[in-house]
Amino acid sequence: MNLIRTASILAAGAAAMFGTACQQKTYPVFFMAQEAHDDPSAYTSARHIVYYNNIAYTRSPMMTLNHFAKFQSELDPVNGSYGVTLYAKPEWRNHLYHQTMEKTGMLLLPVVNGLAMEPMRIAPVSDGILKIWSGLNGYDLKQISRTVEPINPEIEEKRYLSKNPRPIPKMPKDVQQRRDFTGRTVGEIFN
């Protein structure tokens, strides 16, 4: 009897491990809000903030790709990249509204796969819609579509790219990556 119980526990554990191994990671798209103070001495701990262009942003994102249900892309004629409109899931609209009300007038920094996009001035968002105005490519759109449903799949599929055209910089082996208090790099935190 113990052998059967042990075998069933091991089988359940193996199935759970297999299931988590097959889960697809969400493409790292998130929005970070500006902190109230740009002065580093105003914070008790620097691990809660990130600086971009000398502006402090909260390390914890306001919204991530998992908070959105649908998206629609549009071509930016100025630089040939894509912008994307993200529609929040109904259960996250109220959260988005309250977060943007609280941070009105500050900056919102969209980050896509580790690249910061153009910061936007925050205004209250009551309709659940956030935009990234430009800077995305077809690979970004394809990866976003794995988590968020496109509004018009026929148009979006024509824009998809299978490979990332942006070169990923290689880190020199002797460089120490910044880590948080748990030992994770910033890329590991938001993946």
The contacts of residue 67 (CB under 8 Å, 6+ apart) are: 88, 89, 92, 95, 96
* Residue 16 scores a pLDDT above 60: no
Ramachandran quadrant class, 128 (left: phi over 0; alpha: psi -120 to 50; beta: rest): left
How sure is the predictor about 2, in pLDDT bands with cuts at 50, 70 and 90? Answer: very low
Strands 149-150 and 68-75: parallel
Average pLDDT over the chain, rounded to whole? Answer: 82
What is the per-residue pLDDT across 85-97, written as a single tens digit (0 to 9) for each? 999 999 999 999 9
pTM: 0.74
- Check residue 169 and give its pLDDT: 66
Tell me which residue has tokens 């894509």: 82
pLDDT number for residue 40: 56
Give the model's pLDDT for residue 36: 78
82 burial class (0-12, 13-18, 19+ CB within 10 angstroms)?
buried
Residues 52-58, mean pLDDT to the nearest whole number: 89
Looking at residue 188, its pLDDT comes to 53
| φ, ψ of residue 14 in degrees (nearest 5) | -65, -40
Between these two residues, 155 and 20, which has the higher pLDDT value?
155
Residue 43 has pLDDT above 70, yes or no: no
3-class state of residue 179 by DSSP: strand
Q: Strand runs (DSSP E) across 143-190, as ranges?
A: 149-150
Answer yes or no: is pLDDT of 46 > 90. no
- Give residue 114's pLDDT band: very low, low, confident or very high (50, 70, 90): confident
**Residue 41 pLDDT more than 80?**
no
Averaged pLDDT, 69-73:
97
Instruction: Say what the alpha-carbon torsion angle 113, 118, 124, 129 is, to the nearest 10 degrees.
Output: -50
Give residue 166's pLDDT band: very low, low, confident or very high (50, 70, 90): confident
